[in-house]
Amino acid sequence: MSGAYDLDRQGLAELLADQPSYRVAQVWRGLYRGLRRPGEMTDLPPGLRDRLEEALPPALSQLGSSVADGGDTRKWLWALADGARVETVLMHYRDRSTACVSSQAGCAMDCSFCATGQSGFSRQLSSGEIVEQVVAASRESREAGRRLTNVVFMGMGEPLANYDRVWSAVTRIHGELGLSARHLTISTVGIAPGVRRLAGEALPVNLAVSLHAASDELRDRLVPINRRYPLGTLLSACRHYLAAKGRRLSFEWALIDGVNDTADDADALAGIARQLGAHVNLIPLNPTPGYPRIGSPPSVVSSFAGRLRATGVNVTLRRNRGTDIDAACGQLASRVASGRAGPDQLAPDPTAPGRAGPGPTAG
């Protein structure tokens, strides 16, 4: 892996050893503040531009891109240098712009309802491949007259199963791209030791736990990692994180029709959320080809949310942003891989109603 964003400053200095020393800062600034490819750095001599462009090829090649929600949601499908595919989603809201990035190509967590889980694990992303997704989203935001403010690690993959590279990307996104730690969110489907490790890091990022079930019996079925780190172990790690970092914890809950959307489920979730002062994000499941269930209907979603609120839990109902462009975790890549859509077919009908929603249904 040798993309521009995989190099640290020392690596860049070695690459520019034959140049005046100020070039290192100049190129670094061009990459991180200017969000420019070396070939676009017109303040460099043309020969050096060409050399750097060749030495530091883009890590991501765009295979497809689609837009929904009147331009407020953009999703990219990228090919990596070895052909692996990942996705990035950019969502503009009234007061912020959020990039949802992938941390792995595929995912080994095997959550039953998830398109990425259904397509298996390919490989870990390098920190540069993660950072470059954020750079792409930043560029796109800038071109739209917006500023990228938030990054959530809720695309393809389980971030805490690629801990070192994800954390290296987090420090780069914070230190070099200038996003505040409180605007960075790491999600996990329940790797408890990773949560404890996060608690020891210097940057207080937000933690989002994809809970989806409040009993071990159901969670074992939906989210197999629960057999290794059952709820008691996971929630104890969350408590530790809260005590160490004082950041808000959120629980993600994909509402699945007839599976985890009953009043009892809501009460069990409320009990856990209240104990930890956690915010709950509800999102109706995006259907996936390999799972025979659909998202809960709106009336059920609304009574589930109402029941949580009645006990004092803070709840956000997340819209399925970009459902019409397959924004749920892994869906775009799996459709293209299965031949049900080619990248050239990904441009949405601009007149289609935007049913929006984060890429994030992931772990």
User: What residues are labeled active site?
Assistant: 87, 329
Interface with ligand SF4 includes 363 (CB under 6 A)? yes
Listed in sequence order, the residues at least 6 apart from 197 whose beta carbon sits closer than 8 Å to its beta carbon are 160, 163
The string of DSSP codes covering 145-207 is: T----EEEE-SSS-GGGGHHHHHHHHHHHHHTS---GGGEEEEESS-HHHHHHHHTSSS--EE
- Cβ 273 vs Cβ 251: under 8 Å: yes
DSSP for residue 123: E
Segment near ligand SF4 (CB under 6 A), from 37-45, 80-88, 102-110, 240-248? 102-110
In whole angstroms, how close is the CB of 157 to ligand SF4 at the nearest point? 6
Collapsing DSSP to helix, strand or coil, 74 comes out as strand
Collapsing DSSP to helix, strand or coil, 56 comes out as coil
Binding-site member from 27, 63, 107, 177 for ligand SF4 (CB under 6 A)? 107
Residues touching ligand SF4, count (CB under 6 A): 14
Judged by beta carbon, residue 114 or residue 235, the one nearer ligand SF4 is: 114
Interface with ligand SF4 includes 357 (CB under 6 A)? no
In whole angstroms, how close is the CB of 333 to ligand SF4 at the nearest point? 11
Interface with ligand SF4 includes 117 (CB under 6 A)? yes
Judged by beta carbon, residue 222 or residue 308, the one nearer ligand SF4 is: 222
Interface with ligand SF4 includes 134 (CB under 6 A)? no
Q: Find, among 100, 194, 103, 114, the residue nearest to 150 by Cα.
A: 100
Interface with ligand SF4 includes 38 (CB under 6 A)? no
Segment near ligand SF4 (CB under 6 A), from 109-117, 134-142, 166-174, 286-294? 109-117
Judged by beta carbon, residue 204 or residue 230, the one nearer ligand SF4 is: 230
Number of C-beta neighbours around residue 83 at 10 A: 9
Judged by beta carbon, residue 177 or residue 238, the one nearer ligand SF4 is: 238
Long-range contacts of 11-17 (CB under 8 A, 24+ apart): 15/52, 15/55, 15/56
Rounded Cα–Cα distance for residues 282 and 356 (Å): 14
DSSP for residue 70: G
Positions in 301-330 near ligand SF4 (CB under 6 A): 329
In whole angstroms, how close is the CB of 323 to ligand SF4 at the nearest point? 16
- Cβ 186 vs Cβ 208: under 8 Å: yes
Residues forming beta bridges with residue 151, ordered by sequence position: 99, 184
Residue type (1 letter), 360: P
Interface with ligand SF4 includes 332 (CB under 6 A)? no
Interface with ligand SF4 includes 362 (CB under 6 A)? yes
Positions in 185-224 near ligand SF4 (CB under 6 A): 189
Binding-site member from 73, 97, 98, 116 for ligand SF4 (CB under 6 A)? 116
Rounded Cα–Cα distance for residues 106 and 28 (Å): 31
Judged by beta carbon, residue 52 or residue 125, the one nearer ligand SF4 is: 125
- Bridging pattern class, strands 184-188 and 150-153: parallel
Interface with ligand SF4 includes 158 (CB under 6 A)? yes
> Which tokens belong to 28?
């670094």
| Shortest-Cβ-distance residue relative to ligand SF4 | 363
Segment near ligand SF4 (CB under 6 A), from 41-49, 83-91, 153-161, 235-243? 153-161
Residues lying near ligand SF4 in the complex (CB under 6 A) are found at 107, 109-111, 114, 116-117, 156-158, 189, 329, 362-363
